[in-house]
Amino acid sequence: MRAVALRTPLYDAHRALGARMIDFGGWDMPVSYPAGTIKEHKAVREAAGLFDVSHMGEAFLRGPRATEAVQRLTTNDVGGAPAGKAVYTLLCRPDGGIVDDCIFYKRSDEEYFVIVNASNRAKDLAWIRDQVGDLCAIDDVSDATGLIAVQGPTAVALVDQLAGGALADVITFGFRDATVAGVATVAARTGYTGEDGFELACANADAPALWQALVEAGAQPAGLGARDSLRLESRLPLYGNDLDDTTSPLEAGLGWAVKLDRPWVAAGGDFLGRSALVAQKAAGLTRALTGFRIDDRAIARHGYDVVDRLRPAGEQVIGKVTSGGPGISITGAIGLAYLPPTYGAAGTPLTIDCRGKDVAATVVKGKFYKRA
């Protein structure tokens, strides 16, 4: 028996463009197009790139008590956001571990839309259903929904032009229903590249026409390779690498998306993971996701050990690299690792065991790449 690879509605478009396809969590996805990852990455930094992210999961939460349901699920104040606003949040387990990171879109107090990671679709939907119970209805529209991200300094103008000027004034993390190139979309000013742009949700059947219109308008198709290098330079965490069920938002540096004192809580409301996160905050962290830049000519990859050779033999491993790769818009290789907080100050020298060779690195605070 062999699992059949899942395909997005843009599969044929990728093949027609000559994309190199790889398996990504059971999906047959483009890792790069003939331009190659570096050119695709630079197109996003300098102009506009186009990503098929239709493999991600989407669902509606609807009902008179939808806000209460969302308040219980999320670490960020999704329920307190105004209608028309998207909010990045974590879904946490009671012990504070991260079920997923995702974006909720508040359409009204009785209607929310959520986009979750492709690799977590089934897990998240089951989790949300379990936790929400009969508070509201959950409508999983993943298999009917196409999702296209247009990212880069010219992306907003490019999409706005195809929308007849209906989208230029959408604020960052705002969203709006809009017709783009004749296709009904939900256009959100969000992304995963560190650049400005839109993520456009549409019906599966409309996705190829929308994609084609965006390509003809000049956006460079970009694959998962560029998506990963762009998000790492902008220090956006990747679930499965930097986040998982055993890491907490506080350890991951996502405390800004954990609103422990929001009005919902002040009024006696609770959310999943709250008490564990309060306790972790009070006790102090034992590890934190730490950024580093490689000093030597080398690249640290996911899973490599970070070591301190001054410690006794057998106790030298102080953490593991969760993401790593070459910088493309910046010089040198970069990465992230969970390390004890004593190694967290900017400029702290680190040693990384790159396949048996000790390589020098330096702790970097904040984003590796900051857009102009």
Binding site for other proteins (CB under 8 A): 20, 31-32, 36-38, 225, 228-229, 297-299, 301, 325-326, 328, 333, 355
Minimum Å gap between C-beta 50 and other proteins is 18
Q: Closer CB to other proteins, residue 114 or residue 334?
A: 334
Q: Measure the CA–CA gap between 276 and 82, rounded to whole angstroms.
A: 28
Minimum Å gap between C-beta 328 and other proteins is 7
Minimum Å gap between C-beta 356 and other proteins is 10
Q: Measure the CA–CA gap between 339 and 357, rounded to whole angstroms.
A: 19
Minimum Å gap between C-beta 163 and other proteins is 33
Minimum Å gap between C-beta 221 and other proteins is 15
Q: Closer CB to other proteins, residue 42 or residue 259?
A: 42
Q: Closer CB to other proteins, residue 198 or residue 292?
A: 292
Q: Closer CB to other proteins, residue 176 or residue 301?
A: 301
Q: Closer CB to other proteins, residue 31 or residue 285?
A: 31
Minimum Å gap between C-beta 22 and other proteins is 9
Q: Are 335 and 324 a contacting pair, CB within 8 Å? A: yes
Q: Closer CB to other proteins, residue 309 or residue 331?
A: 331
CA dihedral in degrees (201, 207, 213, 217; nearest 10)? Answer: 50
Sheet of 175-180: strand order equals 175-180, 183-188, 197-203, 145-151, 49-52, 220-221
Positive or negative, the CA dihedral 175, 89, 31, 37 is: positive
Q: Closer CB to other proteins, residue 206 or residue 228?
A: 228
Minimum Å gap between C-beta 280 and other proteins is 34
Minimum Å gap between C-beta 326 and other proteins is 4
Q: Closer CB to other proteins, residue 36 or residue 263?
A: 36
